[in-house]
Chain A
Amino acid sequence: MAHTLAVTTPTDLEPDVLPANVVRGYWQSVAYRLRHDPVTLFFGMVILLIILAAIFAPWIAPYDPYKESVIARLKPFGWRGHLIGTDELGRDLLTRIIYGGRISLFMGLAPVAVATVVGGALGILAGFGGRRVNTVIMRTMDVFYAFPSVLLAVAISGAMGGGIANGMIALSMVFTPALCRISETATAQVRNLDFIEAARASGAGTFTILRFHVLGNVLGPIFIYASSLVSVSILLASGLSFLGLGVKPPEPDWGLMLSTLRQSIYVNPWICAMPGAAIFITSICFNLVSDGIRAAMDVRM
């Protein structure tokens, strides 16, 4: 023989990637995968920083967010101790962005959370219930779909009057149909699989099947879609504020700041970009982190 075959003895073999005798619980393995995902960890830290900054704003922010100054209007970065400059009324921009996180994060998260619970539950009900239940729920959602989302949000909060609470309700109603549809589709895909039938054959009731067999399989897509709505929600809320239906000036809010600074874009474009940057960073962090969490929670990864 011109060449010999390399013989592998059992001792040369690599041990299994996952040692079979190490038994991890579900949450332990999720934590394990998260620890080994630097991207998710990093952006998770950024979100944590933004949230902490918003909570502890009075202690962190260098200035008073409402204190105006006629001479210090639209000053550039680093002007007299104003790290990222001042806005059109001479207020410190960094302070206002830190304070603005309070309302913006709330307006970004709360409507999405409400819509996830309501829309998700309705969607699972529509997907798992009979044809009649499905028709009633999904056709009702289609009515909401008929309007552009901005118009719908404006119409609802306009009808109920301005304010943060009404704006939040309006945004929840805008997001519910989309989440309902996502959840209905995911449920419909799962409901016809054999393991649902096998669970029924084991004698399980509908509620038990939903809890043990459906929920875990539909939460992933619902979760990932909801996270992508956080940034949309912040922007829509700012749109409402711009029309005088959401947050009222001089209350600091990223969206509202973006729209008021818009007029100064020719004077100092960098200043104008700052609230937008805050929205962008927050939303991209939410997207990446939720993607990472979904991947860590997926047992098939």
Chain B
Amino acid sequence: MQIQPLPDDDLDPRDRGGQAQPLLIVEGLRKFFRVKTQDGKPAAVKAVDDISFTVFKGETLGVVGESGCGKSTLARLLMHLIEPDYGTLIFDGEAVDSPDGITVDTLRQQLQMVFQDSYSSLNPRMPVRDSVAFGPLVHGKTREQARAVAKDMLTKVGLNPDLFGPRYPHELSGGQKQRVNIARALAISPRMVILDEAVSALDKSVEAQVLNLLRQLKRSFSLTYLFISHDLNVVQYISDRVLVMYLGRVVELGPVEDIFSRPKHPYTQALLGSRSSMDPARRLEEPPITGDPPSPIDPPSGCRFRTRCPYAEAVCAAEMPELSTWRDRESHVTACHMQNSASGHSLADVMGRA
């Protein structure tokens, strides 16, 4: 019997495991920053504490959470801009930074990042076309080839390379600068792009343009996105799946429709409740969530959200809820005792069944 070749016309030649294999698997990622408390004792900021998730090929995984919950640390850990304390990264089936896997350099040829601050992420003394050409140049292209790539990429992000290429960052608007940053990230043709609050600093109309540009680029380069933002509307618009973070841990993970229509974790519910409504008749009289998040230096025992959770019980302080195991793209999982009927939480049965 003859084996039929798979229809792989639009398959990336660098693709190793096929469409079903996740592009990025993160397992037990942890990063503690050593600091000193006010009385001089050494302490650790638990910025990212035992995070595991999977990014499938071709999807956009949104990451949401309050300021200081570890979103940006997560992005920098994935790029290996800071070294993780523990945890493994598996990129398309190969462990990163391990003897039998791929090196960080190889990872960075396939994984790129767009930073939040569009101004400080461009060298102020370099014309933007040189900033875009820098990556290809580092990866062994000649000066002419790199210039050509830069020209092509600037066109792809909607900037006329002859007009904008020779300009310096201070001569561009915020939206134009962020387009340059996107061009820079795409210049070495990565397979996955981390967008760390990439549109948060832009005003609403420009934000919408850049979001649509990102969608369009994703299609034409068959990219995978990890989209980090604190803006729920933007995340809902662009994401296929959403990961909710609270104080360095994943509290909920699932397809975007499920998360936004049927949030399971009280934190996600509160987060969604805090969105301002378009309808003036539906106003929020009381904040859905009160207080500041606890310090990541000394997080609460058990469930980290229990100090602000309206349903907190004794079991929440005693035991840390585990994120239930996900299986595929459709899995909607959460780390909450109320979702686990065996946890002993009084509402477990009610909520678990709902």
Binding site for B on A (CB under 8 A): 20-21, 23-24, 26, 193-195, 197-204, 208, 212-213, 216-217, 299-300
Contact = CB atoms under 8 A, between A and B. Distances in A.
Contact of A299 (B124, B131, B162, B184): B124
A200 B6 CA distance: 37
A216 B125 contact: yes
A93 to B, nearest CB: 46
A198 B184 contact: yes
Given A20-B163, A216-B126, A202 B188 contact: yes
Given A201-B108, A208-B138, A194 B166 contact: no
A299 B170 CA distance: 9
Contacts of A194: 115-117, 120-121
A100 to B, nearest CB: 39
A202 B109 CA distance: 7
B121 A299 contact: no
Interface residues of B, number: 32
B32 interface: no
Contacts, number: 73
Nearest to B115: A194
Contact of A204 (B124, B134, B162): B134
Given A20-B163, A217-B125, A201 B81 contact: yes
Interface of B: 76, 79, 81, 105, 108-109, 112-113, 115-117, 120-127, 131, 134-135, 138-139, 162-163, 166, 168, 170, 181, 184, 188
A195 B130 CA distance: 13
B134 A217 contact: no
Contacts of A200: 81
Contacts of A20: 163
A126 B162 CA distance: 39
Contacts of B131: 195
Contact of A198 (B113, B127, B170): B113
Contact of B123 (A23, A24, A208, A217): A217
Contacts of B135: 202-203
Q: Which of A193, A202, A213, A299 has the most CB of B within 10 A?
A: A202
A204 B138 contact: yes
A300 to B, nearest CB: 5
5 contacts: A199-B134, A212-B123, A216-B125, A216-B126, A300-B124
Contacts of B166: 23-24
B113 to A, nearest CB: 5
Contacts of B116: 194
Given A203-B109, A203-B135, A195 B125 contact: no
A202 B120 contact: no
Contacts of B125: 216-217, 299
Nearest to A29: B166
Contacts of B105: 203
A23 B81 CA distance: 36
Q: Which of A21, A195, A199, A201 has the most CB of B within 10 A?
A: A201
Contacts of B181: 198
Contacts of B76: 197
Given A23-B166, A203-B109, A197 B81 contact: yes
Contacts of A199: 123, 134
